[in-house]
């Protein structure tokens, strides 16, 4: 059987021929890719010439190109279009890839060459980018065990293999529990309060399962509207508790033991490498380079946000008792009451503004904004394959009409796709190679009578992920290892979060916020209300994010031995940021994919850290004009195109002319004057 993964793709822009790739192709291809890459490494280390950047670091960047491509395809499919077959292959692939990574990281001959170059770097006449790459390669090997004795290297291999498999299982368990639940409603009375589009989606879901009535799931476009609008409190409770039970039930998908084992393995790994904790290991390569700095940062925000959050919570409790007959306020009431309170205080009904945000117009709008700011042009190409029929592919061109990349967009939930939203890459950027970027979301689907209409939160989510995509698409570096989003983890959210700001600006909204039936531009009064709504319950929103940050750090600090029970530990950490009563059969840790499946372990604080950067950076756009070409050019030249070629603070100061001001975030949130 011909295996398409064994050679470069003979397609436009070497795009992926998804229809030709079968699950059984991956393992044979990955094994051959690994064999070839190890042979290349061996040839590199056995050369007789003295080690130099040109004969060692440079060729190392092009080693294993097919392996990198094929593993990206596999893991992206496992997130966005998985199946039992893909999950089985991914479980097989994880230890193979971990072993390969360790074979490189723990290759003593390779390390000796890189170490020699590193210590003679001042005599090599290297560019800033080359120096950064050399330091990154050297540190990566040291931080992955190059200085360990052989027996400890073997321990590291075993830890990494187990960690990789556990993280995969963690995500698979959440997806399984999410897919296993459905709320089947047969009486229309139980749908009171729900918008017509939400009801129509639920009816179509039931029909797809050959059932009468309406079906709601734990996917966000189904779950969030139900919790926000459904008047039936008992059903809100049922759905809320089902959501909170994901991977915390007495079944094969329970993640509590995986969490305990993962945090133990991470601590063991850190200690092997000479660090006190996983947090200490992670933060060494962050802008906030110590646990003390991060804790002080979070604590400072907490002290400023808590009084506002407490006031906002009490306001909801009082409003619920006075206006909604809810005297025992519970967590399944918060989204519902919050929406009612927002309507009362701001006269802003999400369902009134939703018709102004049809997905196709919002997408066209974000493309137009990217063109105004950075000169990018997006052309849909139906001949380039996506991995699912709902995936669209766009050719991206720069202001000089040069091909600049491919963008895949994937917007709707389905059974083989994990919840949430993310940007990823099928192919990175480097000299002579443009990137293939993908943004994946879970938005409300179109129905038979209505196009896909986005909530305002979904609008900001699209802009957020598109900001990440811009970081990838506008990358212009020599080496993939320093390109696009390959930056310090607490810097990576700046491009995504700054893009959200355009959603609140009249000049930007008028480009795309147009009624799906009449094409009328969103009225100015709504824009004014949207801007006011940006301050609504910011104390509670901030406290929620801080809670995740505190919880993350608690799992990765020095004293994890005291964590014997995940639920009890979580309850203890979160009690200072939560006002609702704890539910014994609910646990957020067991579905905390960011830190146990994704790359945010000891790094969840970075969302808030990057918010400081984006609030401060956007002040310059507000000062100069949100479409000011000079400011946009500076942001592209100093941030978006530069990737990780220099320290992020150096890049930031070059753009902004100063260090970021933490008060910019607090002012924008309305938490300080």
* Phi, then psi, of 279 in degrees rounded to 5: -60, -45
Distance CA 668, CA 612 (A): 10
Q: Please report how the helices 256-272 and 566-574 are oriented relative to each other, as an axis angle in degrees rounded to 10.
A: 80
- Our measurement of the distance from residue 661's CA atom to the centroid of its chain's CA atoms, rounded to an integer in Å, reads 25
Distance CA 62, CA 99 (A): 19
Please, which residues have CB within 8 angstroms of residue 418's CB and are 6 or more apart in sequence? 79, 80, 82, 171, 174, 175, 593
Distance CA 481, CA 246 (A): 36
Does residue 608 contact residue 301 with C-beta atoms inside 8 Å?
yes
Q: Which residues pair with 664 in a beta bridge?
A: none
Nearest CA to 198 out of 175, 218, 222, 178 is that of 222
The encoded tokens of residue 649 equal 């603070």
Distance CA 17, CA 376 (A): 25
465 is catalytic: yes
Does residue 435 contact residue 429 with C-beta atoms inside 8 Å?
yes
Distance CA 224, CA 541 (A): 16
Q: E strands along 290-368, which residues?
A: none
CA neighbours closer than 13 Å in the CB half-sphere of residue 135: 14
**In sequence order, what DSSP letters do the residues of 629-662 get, joined into one string?**
HHHHHHHIIIIITTTTSS-HHHHHHHHHSS---T
**DSSP code for 51:** P
Please pick, among 81, 312, 339, 465, the residue that the annotation labels catalytic. Answer: 465
Residues present in the chain in total: 673
User: Quick count: other Cβ atoms within 10 Å of Cβ 3?
Assistant: 15
Nearest CA to 37 out of 9, 59, 11 is that of 59
User: Quick one: 177 exposed, middle or buried, by C-beta within 10 A (0-12, 13-18, 19+)?
Assistant: buried
- Our measurement of the distance from residue 553's CA atom to the centroid of its chain's CA atoms, rounded to an integer in Å, reads 18
Please, which residues have CB within 8 angstroms of residue 456's CB and are 6 or more apart in sequence? 350, 353, 354, 357, 503, 530, 533
Distance CA 144, CA 105 (A): 6
* Phi, then psi, of 489 in degrees rounded to 5: -60, -30
Tokens 């919880």 belong to residue: 551
- So which residues are the catalytic ones? 465
């Amino acid at each position: 059987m011909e295996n398409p993964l064994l050679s470069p793709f003979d397609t436009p822009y070497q795009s992926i021929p998804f229809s030709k790739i079968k699950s059984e192709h991956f393992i044979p291809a990955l094994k051959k890719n690994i064999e070839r890459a190890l042979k290349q490494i061996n040839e590199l280390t056995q050369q007789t010439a003295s080690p130099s950047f040109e004969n060692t670091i440079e060729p190392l960047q092009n080693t294993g190109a097919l392996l990198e491509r094929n593993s990206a395809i596999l893991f992206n499919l496992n997130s966005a279009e998985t199946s039992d077959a893909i999950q089985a292959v991914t479980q097989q692939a994880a230890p193979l890839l971990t072993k390969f990574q360790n074979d490189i990281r723990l290759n003593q001959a390779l390390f000796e060459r890189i170490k020699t170059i590193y210590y003679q770097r001042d005599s090599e006449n290297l560019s800033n980018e080359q120096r950064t790459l050399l330091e990154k390669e050297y540190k990566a090997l040291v931080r992955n065990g190059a200085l360990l004795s052989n027996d400890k290297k073997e321990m590291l291999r075993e830890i990494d293999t187990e960690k990789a498999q556990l993280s995969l299982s963690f995500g698979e368990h959440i997806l399984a529990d999410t897919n296993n639940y459905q709320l089947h409603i047969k009486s229309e009375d139980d749908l009171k309060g729900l918008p017509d589009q939400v009801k129509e989606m639920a009816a179509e879901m039931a029909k797809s399962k050959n059932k009468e009535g309406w079906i709601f799931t734990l996917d966000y476009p189904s779950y969030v509207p139900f919790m926000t609008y459904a008047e039936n409190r008992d059903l809100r409770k049922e759905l809320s508790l089902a959501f909170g039970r994901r991977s915390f039930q007495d079944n094969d998908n329970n993640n509590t033991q995986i969490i305990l084992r993962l945090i133990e393995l991470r601590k063991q790994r850190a200690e092997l490498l000479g660090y006190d904790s996983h947090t200490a290991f992670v933060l060494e390569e962050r802008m906030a380079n110590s646990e003390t700095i991060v804790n002080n940062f979070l604590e400072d925000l907490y002290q400023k946000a808590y009084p506002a959050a407490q006031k906002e919570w009490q306001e909801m409790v009082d409003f619920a008792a006075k206006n909604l007959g809810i005297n025992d306020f519970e967590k399944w009431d918060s989204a519902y009451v919050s929406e009612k309170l927002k309507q009362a205080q701001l006269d802003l009904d999400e369902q009134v503004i939703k018709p102004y945000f049809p997905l196709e117009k919002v997408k066209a709008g974000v493309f137009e904004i990217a063109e105004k700011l950075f000169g990018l042009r997006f052309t849909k190409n139906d001949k380039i394959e996506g991995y699912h029929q709902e995936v669209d592919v766009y050719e991206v061109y720069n202001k000089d009409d040069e091909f600049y990349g491919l963008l895949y967009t994937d917007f709707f939930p389905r059974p083989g796709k994990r919840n949430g939203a993310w940007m990823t890459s099928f192919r990175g950027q480097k000299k002579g190679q443009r990137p293939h970027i993908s943004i994946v979301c879970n938005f409300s689907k179109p129905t038979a009578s209505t196009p896909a209409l986005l909530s305002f939160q979904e609008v900001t989510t699209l802009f957020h992920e598109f900001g990440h995509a811009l970081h990838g698409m506008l990358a212009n570096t020599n080496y993939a290892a320093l390109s696009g989003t390959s930056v310090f983890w607490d810097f990576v959210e700046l491009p995504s979060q700054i893009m959200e700001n355009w959603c609140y600006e009249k000049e930007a909204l008028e480009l795309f916020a147009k009624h799906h039936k009449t094409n009328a531009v969103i009225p100015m009064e709504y824009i004014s209300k949207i801007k006011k709504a940006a301050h609504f319950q910011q104390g509670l929103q901030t406290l929620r994010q801080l809670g995740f940050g505190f919880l993350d750090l608690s799992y990765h600090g020095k004293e994890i031995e005291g964590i014997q029970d995940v639920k009890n530990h979580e309850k203890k950490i979160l009690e200072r940021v939560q006002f609702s009563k704890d539910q014994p059969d609910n646990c957020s840790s067991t579905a905390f994919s960011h830190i146990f499946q994704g790359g945010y372990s000891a790094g969840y604080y970075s969302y808030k850290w990057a918010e400081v950067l984006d609030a401060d950076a956007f002040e310059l756009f507000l000062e100069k004009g949100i479409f000011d070409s000079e400011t946009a050019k500076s942001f592209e030249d100093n941030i978006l195109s530069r990737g990780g070629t220099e320290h992020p603070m150096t890049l930031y100061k070059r753009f902004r002319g100063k260090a970021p001001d933490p008060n910019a975030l607090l002012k924008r949130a309305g938490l300080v004057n």
